Amino acid sequence: MTAQADINVRQLPGDFAVWLFILAELSVFALFFILYAITRLRFPEMFAEGRRN
């Protein structure tokens, strides 16, 4: 490879393990948010009762 080819290679800044951790955190948050939305749609009476108390 030439020096010019090395310049054009794009890499993520930082450590790859940190990016995996961030992706895992975002995935868990998205999963919890989706499960909350599904539960709220399936059991609206439970959420209504919780607001009354």
Torsion of Cα atoms, 44 then 47 then 48 then 53, to 10°: 160
pLDDT at 45: 96
Q: Which residue range(s) make up the domain with 22?
A: 15-52
| Residue 39 resides in a domain | yes
Q: Give the pLDDT mean for 31-53.
A: 95
Q: Give the pLDDT mean for 20-41.
A: 98
| Residue 30 resides in a domain | yes
Q: Residues 6 or more apart from 12 whose CB is under 8 A from it?
A: 19
DSSP annotation of 14 reads S
Q: Give the pLDDT mean for 22-35.
A: 98
| Residue 29 resides in a domain | yes
Q: Give the pLDDT mean for 33-40.
A: 97
| Residue 7 resides in a domain | no
Q: How many domains does the chain have?
A: 1
| Residue 24 resides in a domain | yes
| pTM attached to this predicted model | 0.65
Q: How far is CA 37 from each of CA 19, 20, 28, 31, 42, rounded to the nearest angstrom?
A: 27, 26, 14, 10, 9
DSSP string, 37-52: HHHHHH-HHHHHHHHH
| Residue 36 resides in a domain | yes
